Amino acid sequence: MKHWTLDQIAWDAFDPSKVDPGILSLVKAAALVEKNGVDYAIYLNNVFTGDPDFRQAADNWAVEEVQHGDALGRWAEMADPGWSFDEAFARYRAGYKIDVKADASIRGSRTGELIARCMVETGTSSYYTALGESTEEPVLRQVCRLIAADEYRHFKLFYDHMKRYLAREKLSFPQRLRVAAGRIGESEDDELAFAYHCGNEPATLPYDHDRCMRGYMGRSMSYYRFRHIERGMGMIFKSIGLEPRGRLSDLAAKGAWKLLQWRRSKYAQAAGAANENAPARRAA
């Protein structure tokens, strides 16, 4: 069922001299979020009661997401032998839970749920492409390439099911747009920031959303290139029923790229200010 397995990765090619510490901290955080995919499958199974095809697809999807976590976690343990994936994941599980018991989508409809899933897969597909192209470490390059291909297939999977539900539920364009924008905005919630905390900070340091968001977003934004944003924008447009490669998508991609550059500089400034104000933590 899976498109690849951990055994297919050329782990022996690992080159410790090519590990970038910034990328390593992102990989540690990503490994935790990916591995948590199993909970999301339980939620999807509850939301899509009575749709056995989709529920089966959601179960298969989760197996792949968990494998993403295992591949990234294993790589991070090779890159930082003092780091334990299991320990970090236990901390993450203890502090971050999604509500799996929902009996209807938190997005208001099944179409909305699937549009939100398309946004997540657009994000991960672009992210692993950008990360894989940025690292010179050969094993991580291979891992990111394999994951990015899965994420794009996931996008197509959720998109196809979304079209099926859209024909039935007939969500209006503003409704679709609202769900998509809402899910994109949630990337600043705790899911990633807390994963960054559990993956990279000692358990003795209390979690601070802003500090961790700076650590995560400030770093991750530096690996994107315009082509990743352009492609991602096409996928977002397609999900909400707009022409993926038209003038409007072009304009939106350019706007998003400007926004990303602006936010990147804001995060860099905030990180600089935080470092000046916290010499004790830096020394720790």
**Residues that bind Fe ion in the complex, under the rule CB under 5 A:** 34, 65, 68, 121, 151, 154
Alpha helices in 96-246 (DSSP H): 110-134, 138-169, 173-185, 190-200, 209-220, 226-239
Residue 137 or 151: the one with the smaller Cβ distance to Fe ion is 151
Residue 62 or 240: the one with the smaller Cβ distance to Fe ion is 62
Residue partners of 15: CB distance under 8 A and separation at least 6: 137, 138, 139
Min dist CB 143 to Fe ion, Å, is: 11
What is the C-alpha to C-alpha distance for residues 225 and 86, in angstroms, rounded to an integer?
Answer: 33
Residue 155 or 165: the one with the smaller Cβ distance to Fe ion is 155
Residue pair 125/233 in contact by the 8 Å Cβ criterion: no
What is the C-alpha to C-alpha distance for residues 45 and 56, in angstroms, rounded to an integer?
Answer: 9
Residue 153 or 178: the one with the smaller Cβ distance to Fe ion is 153
Determine the Cα angle at 37 with ends 192 and 181, to 5°. Answer: 55
Residue 223 or 267: the one with the smaller Cβ distance to Fe ion is 223
Structure tokens at 88: 């970090």
Residue partners of 108: CB distance under 8 A and separation at least 6: 175, 179
Residue 61 or 237: the one with the smaller Cβ distance to Fe ion is 61
What is the C-alpha to C-alpha distance for residues 8 and 143, in angstroms, rounded to an integer?
Answer: 10
Residue 156 or 225: the one with the smaller Cβ distance to Fe ion is 156
Burial class (CB in 10 A: 0-12, 13-18, 19+), 203: exposed
What is the C-alpha to C-alpha distance for residues 184 and 283, in angstroms, rounded to an integer?
Answer: 35
